[in-house]
Amino acid sequence: MTTRRRVSIVVALAAATTLAACSSTGGAPESSGGGGNAGTADTPRATIAMITHAPPGDTFWDLIRRGAEAAAAKDNIDLQYNGDVDAPNQANLVQNALDSDVDAIAVTLAKPDAMAPNVEKAVAAQVPVVAFNSGYDNWKDMGVSAYFGQDERTLGIAAGERLKTDGATNAICVIQEQGAVSLEARCAGVAEGFGGKIENLNVNGQDLPSVQATIQAKLQQDPSIDSVLTLGAPIALAAVESTKSAGSDAKIATFDTNGALVDSIKAGDVQWAIDQQPYLQGYLAVDSLWLYLNNKNTIGGGQAVLTGPSFIDSSNIDAIADLAKGGTR
């Protein structure tokens, strides 16, 4: 069996487990019991720290947290969820987790250089560590046992090829967090797959009015831009307003989804989105650590467990819409 097929089977099995644990309710989670109705595992209570580079109130990260908390509720886990956009603060959160004697750690590696020392310290202390969402190129070097997410470059190539197929010739790739290696890898992949004229545009993703103004100014400066590719759903929604204000005919496409983006795809304001299944990333990160703590299971055979990409567009949006609005896609 090939590595790619083995990883695909692992993801399929884990996804089936996830669906069995889903709640039908929506909204952001309130506690480690949110999102799961499968009961509690008859295993010893354990504490897992989940540390992300998430900005507050980001709808994408609500999905990751919801998946993590569904797994925690099922697995009798005390989930300590923390996030900070500042890389040194993220690294400090890893140290804080170690000082608190947590049983395991799940972490994102958006800024690997800043994270490496404390992540490697955790590994050396024999605290189980998995990475998710970001760090595809770096997790093995730190000694982390598993990665759940996507290959950002491959994902970007797929997006670039889709832009080319759509007939785009002049595009911008909007980066909402300058220096985040995963986002920069996406745009590099887009340029590789696209082959046309493309420029990276850095914006402040924590200030959506500023994002809208920056994209609008760029479209007014260069009316020949025919495509805007964003790297997150809230940025895509801001870009929709930017094109309207600029009087531009540029088409919008994006990475990642949320409930509001579903309506934009249905309305034709956004052409398509790439789904990396953030709920599944959060769920697998916690569930894999529970499996290791209680049965010494490992997932992936030393390879990344890929949760994407898949395209969501007008052809399949109806199948995804209710799940997205319910907070699991």
Give residue-wise pLDDT tens across range 52-75.
998 777 888 999 999 999 999 999
Among candidate residues 278, 240, 238, the one with its CA nearest the CA of residue 257: 278
3-state helix, strand, coil in the chain (%, to 5): 50, 15, 35
| pLDDT tens-digit readout, 157-194 | 999 999 999 999 999 999 998 888 889 999 999 999 99
């354990």: which residue's tokens? 46
CATH homologous superfamily for the domain 152-275: Response regulator (3.40.50.2300)
Token pair in block for residue 203: 């914006």
> Once rounded to an integer, what is the mean pLDDT over residues 231-258?
96
In this model, does residue 10 exceed pLDDT 90?
A: no
Where are any strands of DSSP class E within 15-103? 46-52, 77-83
What pLDDT sits at residue 40? 84
The third-level CATH classification (topology) of the domain covering 3-150+277-308 is Rossmann fold (3.40.50)
Task: Output the average pLDDT for the chain.
Answer: 88
Mean pLDDT of the region 3-25:
37
Q: What is the pTM of this model?
A: 0.78
Q: What's the average model confidence in pLDDT over 7-36?
A: 37
Residue 210 CA to residue 96 CA, distance in Å, equals 34
Residue 39 confidence (pLDDT): 65
3-state secondary structure of 104: strand
What is the DSSP-derived secondary structure letter of residue 28?
-
Amino acid residing at 142: M
CATH 3.40.50.2300 domain extents, the chain: 3-150+277-308, 152-275
Indicate if the pLDDT at residue 249 is higher than 60. yes
CA distances for 155 relative to 104, 164, 185, angstroms: 29, 15, 9
Compute the average pLDDT of residues 20-25: 31
According to DSSP, residue 129 is labeled E
